[in-house]
Structure 1
């Protein structure tokens, strides 16, 4: 039986102490198979972003375990943890986190520069993902001069630069108008269905969630059974 690409067991996470204590997660368990598309759905404060950050190894749980492709994240040192996260995962966030004064190509290739990849290879790989997202003609443009939809496509290109196996997206269309948001959604689902990338998205948008193979609903730090986990 295939090993899930991501598995969580009894995840807990607490912030603050005493009267300020907030239990963001209260024992969440789940499995996500390679190539799946999963929407984690919940209102603001439900724990959905905390859950995604822990699954993406951007945060550590207070209790419980996360396994990535069968490996217990707790067994990884700082360097091995960073290497696993940087090679397996890509990230698309609602806030673009682009350097507005740098070119589109420089923004896209930044993860490779951090990893010590040479300038020629950075350009080759950067242009390849920009071609994939129909942004090659914007390679020399300053990122700050792009539209919202173009910026989000640049963010997706940057997330793809290391050929990730899992793409995490946190409210990826939250800052976009409906038409532009639909274009970005189509790009993400194409990466999932035609390129085999596992897609995990956090959203409060039920229309967006309906497009996923699976929907996991979270409320007050707990996954709830709505009878709608799998798409029809």
Structure 2
């Protein structure tokens, strides 16, 4: 039986107060197994991105708790929280978030720089991540000069450079054409399948979600449907 890498219990997230209060999540329970691929799907405003931000420890729930490898993350504060997040997670976003005038390598090694890894080691690991994605020849290029597909490969390299247990991908193909998006999808699922990296994808794309081992559907801040790949195919 697979070990849960993340367990969420009774997650609620509210913004504002009184008449202006908005309940983005209304009580979500979720277990994510080590090495699985999970799609979180739903329309804009459903709460799916809010859930991802909580699971990735980028925000705190109003109520409820999240366990990371069995540890209650409410006990993680300040540098300890930042270290856990930096060492455990990789992030792939629709908007890339690359610094355009810096080189591809400089963008890729940013998590290592934040973690205090020495320059020579940052360079070694950054180049290795780029080579893994057939981007080694682009290391010295400015990020602004990359195509959309190359930018997303660079983002994936940045997500990999810390050897993460989990990659969170928020609409990872949303800014790409169909053919390039398919290549990026293949890369992400290969990392999941061949390297055992847990993959959590937030998307409204049903076809992308169908490639995952399991999917949950969020509507109005609640999980309204959950299915694995075999159930969806049937």
Q: How would you bin the TM-score normalised by the shorter chain?
A: over 0.9
RMSD (CA atoms):
1.0
> What's the CA shift for 1:75?
1.1
Structure 1: gaps (5+ residues): none
> What's the CA shift for 1:3?
3.8
- Residues 107-165 of structure 1, C-alpha deviations (whole Å, 9 max, x = no match): 10111112221211111101100000000010110000000110000000001010000
- Residues 18-46 of structure 1, C-alpha deviations (whole Å, 9 max, x = no match): 22211100000010100000000000000
CA–CA separation in structure 2 for the residues paired with 1:197 and 1:115? 20
CA–CA separation in structure 2 for the residues paired with 1:63 and 1:193? 34
- Residues 199-230 of structure 1, C-alpha deviations (whole Å, 9 max, x = no match): 001000001000000000000000012xx610
> What's the CA shift for 1:166?
0.3
1:30 counterpart residue number:
30
Q: How does 1:158-173 map onto structure 2 within 5 Å?
A: 158-173=158-173
Structure 2: gaps (5+ residues): none
SS at match of 2:39: strand
1:76 counterpart residue number:
76
2:42 counterpart residue number:
42
After the TM superposition, which parts of structure 1 deviate over 2 Å for at least 4 consecutive aligned residues? none
CA–CA separation in structure 1 for the residues paired with 2:70 and 2:169? 22
1:180 counterpart residue number:
180
- How many residues align? The count is 230
> What's the CA shift for 1:2?
5.1
2:209 counterpart residue number:
209
CA–CA separation in structure 2 for the residues paired with 1:16 and 1:75? 25
SS at match of 1:57: coil
Q: Give the TM-score normalised by the residue count of structure 1.
A: 0.97
Q: How does 1:82-97 map onto structure 2 within 5 Å?
A: 82-97=82-97
Q: How does 1:1-232 map onto structure 2 within 5 Å?
A: 3-225=3-225, 229-232=227-230
Q: Give the TM-score normalised by the residue count of structure 2.
A: 0.96
Query: Are 2:104 and 2:143, in contact at CA under 8 Å, matched by a contact in 1?
Result: yes
